[in-house]
Every structure is written in structure tokens, then in C-alpha cells.
Amino acid sequence: MNKKLQRDIIYFAISCLLILFILITKVEGPLERFLWILVYVSGGYSKAKEGVQLTIENKSLNVEFLMILAAIGAAFINYYTEGAILILIFSLSGILEEYAINKAQKSLTSLLTLTPEKAILITPSGDQVVNAKSLQVNDIIKVPVGQLIPADGEIILGNTHINQAAITGESNPVYKDISDHVYAGTLNMEGFIQVRVTKNPADFLVTKMIDFVHEAQRNKTHQQTVIERFEAIYVYIVLALAVLVMIFLSVYRGIVLLVVASPCALVASISPVMLSAMSWGGKHGILIKGSKVIEQIHQCDVVVFDKTGTITLGIPVVSNFVISSNIDSSEVINLVYAMEKQSHHPLAKVIVDYLEDKKSKDIELSIEEIAGHGIVYDNWKIGRFEYEQSIVDIRNNEGFTTVNIIRDNILVAYFYLRDTIREDVDVTIETLNQMGIKTLLLTGDNEMSVKPLLNEISFNEVYTNLLPQDKVSVIERLKADGHHVMMIGDGINDAPSLSIADVGVAMGQGSDVALETADIVFMNNQLSNTIDLLRLAKKSRRIVISNIVFSMSVLVLLVILNLLENITLPLGVFFHEGSTILVILNGLRLLWFNSKNFA
């Protein structure tokens, strides 16, 4: 609970005690008027201050001004009790609104575990405790068990399990070993590690996330902007109507009109909904850059996917390892393992990991690496070398990366490697198709490389051999045809497409450029977030529309009842402020949104 909310609650409690004292003791005369003034001041101070500040800042009157004017008017015609009740309930609604918004904002920002202030820096003269913000690239830091990691970096010593919930929303600890990357703000749960800093503090992922959230809280939907403009004009209309009512009916009715015609509920119809939606997203590993993005998501009828790093993990795995039956397989495995273990090629580690539990012994040897071809040892070659003949059955290799194993210019074995498809891709694409969302795959890969993927996943349209500008052209054509496009990608070459799409989504492990360009980031790298996101946006829109319809209906009804002289000031305050509270609580329902039960 923040200090402002605590102060408002104290002032509200003082107002309640003063009203009880006046009613119980039944004081009269100057003392009674003095006590009522104290009630007005203690109960209305916060809202009055807020109204004056907003009036000065925006150079226009607001709903707070209407409430203050109505309370003063009630006191002026000796309706002290009614004016006090107005102040009291208005103050209570303000407290509840503040509490609701704080709860939503707290839920949103609680996922961001800030980096610790201190770090243990390893220096030639010994360990030093330094300010984490002073860390530089290539600094080496120690992270003991149970402490937050103070910087983005790479483990150079030790292994552990890391709680990354603050970054990815994943509750299960993730195992990290040497060469694995770790993030500032995550918790070292198991073992002592040393980390080499790979980014400056301003570029830490958690820092970018905090900036992302701050920008999200500043952005407003088109509907919010329209309502705020409407409020600025509407206040003057209400003042003018109140004056007319005072002249032709009564001053009392004019004051009641100031209360019931105030658009408090309408003004509160959208903000709690959008804050709750962003909070829900944050809890589930989805960072949303502002309520305006949520407004655009529900309109999307086309989702465009990049392939490598989005549909696939961008991490090759061995799909098939074929050895000739005319050669000792154990000899091949042991030799290939020993050769690849010395190679620096990215695919070498994949092959070494695959053969780790298949080798029968370790062999010491020295290899020669030939750029663009592979590695050589004695009469053995591994890689993209030509051969004179083959003694192994060569199978269909469409869509696979082939690594040949050659002895004496004879192909004796080979690996087929392929990129790994994300686990949730098929369900995600199938669900999108069932929802009537058109799905497209845009990739720079050739048609043959994509073919195995298309045997498993059914996209509506597939475009291959695309350069970054070609992807942009496809999205621009879709938009020109009247479609609203969501683009999901991860790399630097996806940044132009992410920026041109109506909604750009970056995978959490993507490049910094993609993260900065995107409107949304899937921190947990789950494509199924796409379904949750679309459902969340639709649910948000339904709640916003219901809030607007409800608040306007209550306002019109109360105004009519007042003109017919069928409502008192206390009842007008009760129903008017009650509708505001209900609208806020309705928006907060999104904090408990269940995507699976959404229909």
C-alpha cells in the first residue's frame, strides 16, 4: 500500500469519526458548522487537491471539480449532512479506485525483480563489493547460492539451477552450466557460479523490461483518449445544465444533477481493464507495450510467423545417423566423436552431444580444419567433402543438413540434422485456423528446407526465399487488402516486419533490435501465447464495452430521475459512486482471466 493510499484512508477514517460524533452528540450552532467543515476538509482534501492539480495541468475542468462544487453547494443551502455523505462516498470511491489501480499496477510490476544494488567483482587484488550499475562488459563476478544475479552474463565456472520467474514467468528452475547465459534479477538457487558480464547495465534484459512496462503504462487506447476529450467538454455542459435546473426547478435539484451527471464511471471504464490485462500478461510471460496494443490485437485476422527461432528453436538436432553395414560402427562412432570434439563448428557440439553416450572409448588425435568444408584426420574426412563412391544407403535428404563421413574417399556414414520445431507449434496453428485466423509462414529458407516442416504443420500460405524487404512487402500487401496483421519473429532481420505490422511480437530470446521494435514480447518463448493474447484482447474489449454501456445507462437513468424529482442527493451519490466502483471491479476480473475457459 503506497503512502497516498494510506493517507487517504486516514482522512476517510477521520471524516467517519467526525460524522459519528456530530450525529451522536447532536451538537448545534457554530460548533456543528465547524465540525462539518472539518468533515469536508478531511474527507475531500485528497480529491480536491487532485482536481485542482488536473485542472491546472490540463487547463480544463474535470469530474473532481463537479463533485467539489456539488458538496460546497449542498453546504451553502444548509444540506450539511447530504454534502458530507457526498464527500464521504466520493472519498471512499476514490480510495477503492486507487486501491484497484495500485493492485493492477503491483501485479504488473511484481514480475520485474529488480537487480541487486551490489555485486561481488573479482579483481587481481581480490574480491570487491561494488555497485551493480558500475559493472562493465567482461567483468567477472561471483554469485553465491541464494542471491540474485546482478548482471546479464555467461557462466564461466560452476553450474546451478536458476529461478527465472521474474523474466520468463516460468516457475520451474532452469539448469545452467558453463557457457549458458543468465539474466540480471534471476535467483541462483543451487550452486556457486562465476559469471562474465556480457552487457552494460542499461542493456540488461530486466532493464529493458522495466522500460517496456513504464512505456506500457503511459500508452492509452483510442477509446481512452476519446473519453478524456469528451470529459473535458462534458463537464462544462453539466455545469450549464445545472445552472438551468437551479433556475427552473430548484438549487437542490441542480446540485443533485452535478453529482449524478458526472461521468466518473465512464472515465473509469477502460483504465482498470487495460492495466489488469497487462498484469495478466506479465504474470504469464507476456509483456505488452501499452493498452493501445491490446485494442489492436482483437482486430487481427492474420498472424504471420518467421521460421527460424520462432516456429523452430534455431537449434539443430541429429535426425538420423546412418553407418554402412560393411564397417565397424563402434570404430566410426569413437573416431567421429574424437574428431568433432576438437572442432569449433556450431554443428560439432550437436554431433558430440548425440554421440556422448554411444562411444565406447576416448581416442586422442589431432585434426585439421578446412574452412567451408570440415575437418580431416589421416584418411578420414567429416563435413562437405566430395567422395568417389558410397558403401552406405543414401536416403532422401530433403530439408536436412547433411554431414558426410568419408574414409579413403568412400562415403561410409552420414548424419542428417534438422532444426527443432517448438513443441506447441502444431496446436497453436491448428487453434488459430479453427478461430478463423489466417496463418502465414515467411522464411528466407529455400522450399526444400521447409518441406519437412510443412509435412507436420498446416499453414494457410507459405513464402520461401524471402529477404527482409520481401517480408515487409508481403505484410504491406496484406494490410492493403484490409487485413490486420500480427507478425511474430525473433531476429534482427525481422525488425522491419515487426515495425510495419499492426502488432509486432518478438520471442524472448530474440535480438535486442527485435525486442525494442516489438509491441509484445513472449518472455517464456511459448508460441501458444498467441492464442492467449487474442483471447485476452477479445475479453478486454467485451468488458470495456459492457462498462461503457453500464456507466452511460446509470448516468442517463439518474439524470432522468433527478429531473422528475424522484431521487435524493444521498441516493444519487450512492448509485453514482456505486456504479463507479462496480465498473472498476468488473475491470479487475481480468486479473483472474482463464484463457482455456474463454469462449
Query: What is the rounded CA–CA span in Å between residue 132 and residue 121?
Result: 9
| Catalytic entry in 139, 152, 306, 490 | 306
Dist CA 68 CA 86 (whole Å): 9
Vertex 255: Cα angle to 85 and 546 (nearest 5): 75
Return the SS3 of 162: strand
CA angle 125, 131, 134 (to 5 degrees): 85
Question: Locate cell 430521475: which residue?
Answer: 561
In the residue annotation, 177 being an active-site residue is answered as: no
Q: Which three cell numbers stand for residue 435?
A: 478461430
Rounded-to-integer distance, Cα 192 and Cα 16, Å: 56
- Exposure on the CB side of residue 599, measured as CA atoms within 13 A: 1
Distance CA 32, CA 426 (A): 73
Identify residue 35 by its one-letter amino acid code.
L
Q: Tell me the C-alpha distance between 232 and 339, whole Å.
A: 75
Mode of pairing for the β-strands spanning 410-421 and 461-463: unpaired
Strands 140-143 and 193-197: antiparallel
For residue 392, the 8-state DSSP code is S
Q: Is 146 exposed, middle or buried (0-12, 13-18, 19+ CB in 10 A)?
A: exposed
> Residue 391 corresponds to which cell in the numbers above?
558403401
| Strands (E) located in 71-199 | 118-123, 126-131, 140-143, 153-157, 160-163, 174-176, 181-182, 187-188, 193-197
Residue-level length of the chain: 599
Q: Render the burial of 18-39: b for 16+ CB within 10 Å, e for the rest.
A: bbeebeeeeeeeeeeeebbeeb
Q: Which residues are catalytic?
A: 306
